[in-house]
Chain A
Amino acid sequence: MREIRYREALREAMFEEMERDESVFLMGEEVGHYQGAYKVSEGLLEKYGERRVIDTPIAEAGFAGVGIGAAMVGLRPIIEFMTWNFSFVAFDQIISNAAKVHQMSAGKIQVPIVFRGPNGAAKQVASQHSHSVAPFYTHIPGLHVIQPSTPRDAKGLLKSAIRSNNPVIFLEGETLYGVKGEVPDEGVDELIPIGESRLARAGADCTIVTWGRPYYTVLAAAEKLAAEGIECEVIDPRTLRPLDTELMVQSVKKTNRCVVVHEHWPYGGPGAEIVDRLQREAFDHLDAPLERVTGLDVSMPYASNLEDKVLPTEERVIDAVKRVSYAK
């Protein structure tokens, strides 16, 4: 094992899959000559040329649609959105075509496409550019939605996503691109299955389910709580649809309490879905109401101090864990 950054892990996944399968290609704004807005696709153009690494105009609906068409006739496109905020102008293509064609063609046409790019808040990109889009896309039957937190998961899940015959929404994070973590050595072809959650930290007192940027907020909060004698068990679903609740249910049966921490807004979405399933599947084991720590229910303010308050903080996580633990 070696340590590499999240961005490098994604890049390796694309290199390896493009090397393995000639039908894989990358398309999006600035993915080629500029080497990617966040340098995820650095070096790909040089290696695979303009036929397989395609710079597009600023026309998300157009290149999302071209990608879906290419997938329908047998290629395996990776469509990069410079950020997921820009996917809104391609929403109709993703919802009405990518998610529907397989069903509407009675299974005759598959859409093996990956839409990927940074999701959620970065730093002071304000109302329109800070969306955590998981609730929009997890709502849609026909789509798989993945949001990896660590470099290892990013690489292993992107490789699985590229090989999947389903349209996959792959949510990265601008603040995650620089995160370092252990990833199997080059040449190790690790595929992480879609729809499998991961135990990130073991503990007997309180379960925390989290993913994406708040994953690191939670791990830091868990250390502080451990110093006060509350051991948290942290579970990362990794895939938000299809959702694997088995590990969470097992954990809640042990700890009898759970806090779900996520960046997206509180109204609906995977956070609410997890809470709904846990209250049914672990009802007789709950000693406290399930709690959520979420991005606050407002459009993201530009002011830095306010932005910090809107995103889930360590303090809010610690408070919630203590509340469900009936600790002071």
Chain B
Amino acid sequence: MAKIIGLPKLSPTMEEGTLVAWIKSEGDEVEVDDLLAEVETDKATMEFRSFDRGVLLKILVPAGETLEPDVPVAIIGKAGEDISELLAEVAAGAVSAAVSAAVPAAVSAAVSETVSAAAAVSAPVSVPESGSEGRVLSSPLVRRLARERSIDLHTVQGSGPRGRVVKRDIEAFPGERDASGGAPALRGERLPARVVKASSMRRTIARRLTESTQTTPHYYLTIDVDIAPLVDARRAMNAELEAAGKKVSLNDLIIKAAAIALRRVPEVNSSWMGKEIHYHQVVDISIAVAVDEGLMTPVIRDADRKGVMQIAEEVRDLAARARDKKLQLEDMTNGTFSISNLGMFGIEEFTAVINPPEGAILAVGTIRNEPVVEDGAIVPGKRMRFTMSSDHRVIDGATGAKFMAALKTLLEAPSTMLL
């Protein structure tokens, strides 16, 4: 590794020295302590000996010049080593700020001559404005888009002045034409995963559901229900409500039915609390609501004692506030049982993860229009599947099955909800 050799301070009081003569010439081998030059100081003519071993690659200052200490006078390194960078450094005066002012014209002249000679020899390499590690010139708009779409601007070719990355370059970037689709399509190159910091909601969901699946012994019961009577009941109700501009959904009726079923099989409305079992005396049903970043579970209090209309209004209010992030903590805590409905996506059945410390969660599928056997004949029917995930620590299989049977009875004969 070549290094720049500065004029040594050869006496404690030396403020300047004159290079009387170079003893070594460019290209000469240099050993440690070899005499390089003779320097005349305020005291005497002194020996300038080398502290380094190598080859004297370049003499920067000719004999006869008077210089301050530390001014670069020579470069020593390995034979044939490229010293263009060091020469540029000397020319730029970057070696030492104190030195730069003192570099005599002769040094600059010698250096610049050498630099241009070196430049002429080596293939001219233009320094890129945007190296793979360096700063990429880009417009503020592009920086924002890159942030939003997790694009590494080093991978985008800029077409603006001095290689500035501008909007059209981002638009032309693979996968960005149809940016609405989210994940960029691969075209030739492999793109890294888009890294997004998890929101606190996401982290809460992750923690609670991991805890639930790891500590709660889940088991699942599925039952198929003839939903036609409930569909008919709903239609009749909505016909009645139409004048008032109101309506109820099938889900509102299912919440009501589940709440009544919980009254009829109260063991399901319970929580495992370590050394105790809590049998809840209220029926507070958590409703899973999908929101932008995840899901929330606002609670319908005393669902067993509320009318379907009131449940409908509360569900709509809670869902709207969930989507607007306006729910209060008390809206989301201390449910006793959950219902999750993915029927609107056409899901026939699914299993849900229990929301601790609740004892069970009911997963509701879509309405299936299908042929069914009734009185020995095949007729058009409407069916819906319900799957309950139960915590086996508090709800045994037979208890869970009793609940599902009660629910089925209520749904298939909605008028029995009045009992």
Alpha-carbon distance between A288 and B164 when the two chains are bound, in angstroms: 9
> In the complex the two chains form, what is the Cα distance from A287 to B168 in whole Å?
9
A87 to B5, CA, bound (A): 70
Residues of A within 8 A of B167 (CB): 256, 287
Question: Which B residue sits closest to A284, measured CB to CB?
Answer: B144
In contact, B159 and A286 (Cβ under 8 angstroms): no
Cα distance A256–B141 when bound, in Å?
7
B140 in the interface, Cβ–Cβ < 8 Å? yes
A285 located at the interface, meaning its Cβ lies under 8 Å from any Cβ of chain B in the complex: yes
Q: How far is the CA of A326 from the CA of B168 in the complex (A)?
A: 9
**Is residue B160 contacting chain A, with contact meaning CB distance below 8 A?**
yes
Count how many chain B residues have C-beta atoms less than 8 Å from C-beta atoms of the other chain.
11
Distance A314 CA – B160 CA, assembled complex (angstroms)? 24
- On chain A, which size bracket covers the interface? under 10
A285 touches B141 (CB 8 A): yes
Q: What sequence of 0s and 1s flags, for each residue 272-297 of chain A, a beta carbon within 8 Å of any chain B beta carbon? A: 00000000000111111000000000
Residues on the B chain within 8 Å of A256, using CB:
139, 141, 167
Kindly supply a per-residue 1/0 record for chain B positions 201-234, scoring 1 wherever the CB is within 8 Å of any chain A CB and 0 otherwise.
Answer: 0000000000000000000000000000000000
Nearest-CB distance from A208 to chain B (Å)?
18
- Please measure, in the bound complex, the distance between the C-alpha atom of A96 and the C-alpha atom of B345, giving whole angstroms: 72
How far is A288 from B140 in the complex, measured between Cα atoms in Å?
Answer: 8
The answer to whether residues A287 and B142 also contact, given A256-B167, A326-B166, A326-B168 and a CB cut-off of 8 A, is yes
Partner of B159 from the list A284, A288, A326 (CB cut-off 8 Å) is: A326
Secondary structure type dominating chain A contacts: loop
8 Å CB contacts to B: which residues of A246-294? 256, 283-288
> How many Å from the CB of B137 to the closest CB on chain A?
12
User: B143: which A residues are within 8 A, CB to CB?
Assistant: 284
When distances are taken between beta carbons in the complex, the residues of chain B under 8 Å from A283 are 140
Residues of B within 8 A of A287 (CB): 139-142, 166-167
Interface mask (B102-134 → A, CB under 8 Å = 1, otherwise 0): 000000000000000000000000000000000
List B residues 157-209 near A (Cβ within 8 Å): 159-160, 166-168
- With both beta carbons as reference points, the residue of chain B lying nearest to A285 in the complex is identified as B141
Interchain CA distance A284-B159 in the complex, whole Å: 19
Chain A residue contacts of B140, Cβ below 8 A: 283-287
Min CB–CB distance A230 → chain B (angstroms): 13
> Nearest A residue to B168 by beta-carbon distance?
A326
Shortest CB distance A266–B (Å)? 21
B141 CB contacts on chain A under 8 angstroms: 256, 284-287
| Residues of chain B within 8 A of A288, CB atoms compared | 139, 160, 166
Return B169 CB to nearest CB of chain A, in Å: 9
CB distance from A281 to the nearest CB of B (A): 12
Query: Shortest CB–CB separation between residue B110 and chain A, in angstroms?
Result: 42
- Distance in angstroms between the alpha carbons of A283 and B141 in the assembled complex: 7
A214 to B21 alpha-carbon distance, docked (Å): 72
A:149-196 near B, CB below 8 Å? none
Q: Which residues does chain B contribute within 8 Å of A284, judged by CB atoms? A: 140-141, 143-144
> Bound complex: CA of A326 vs CA of B163, how far in Å?
12
Q: Name the interface residues of B135-150: CB closer than 8 Å to any CB of A.
A: 139-144
Bound form: Cα–Cα A326–B144 in Å: 19
Q: How far is the CB of B161 from chain A (nearest CB, A)?
A: 8
By beta carbon, the residue of chain A nearest B147 is A284
A residues whose Cβ falls under 8 Å from a Cβ of B: 256, 283-288, 326
Interchain residue pairs A-B with the least CB separation, the first 9: A284-B144, A287-B167, A287-B141, A287-B139, A286-B140, A283-B140, A256-B141, A287-B166, A285-B141
Apart from A284-B141, A287-B141, 9 more pairs, CB < 8 Å? A256-B139, A284-B140, A286-B139, A286-B141, A287-B139, A287-B142, A288-B160, A326-B159, A326-B160
Q: Could you list 17 A-B pairs, sorted by A, with CB under 8 Å?
A: A256-B139, A256-B141, A284-B141, A285-B140, A285-B141, A286-B139, A286-B141, A287-B140, A287-B141, A287-B142, A287-B167, A288-B139, A288-B160, A288-B166, A326-B160, A326-B166, A326-B168
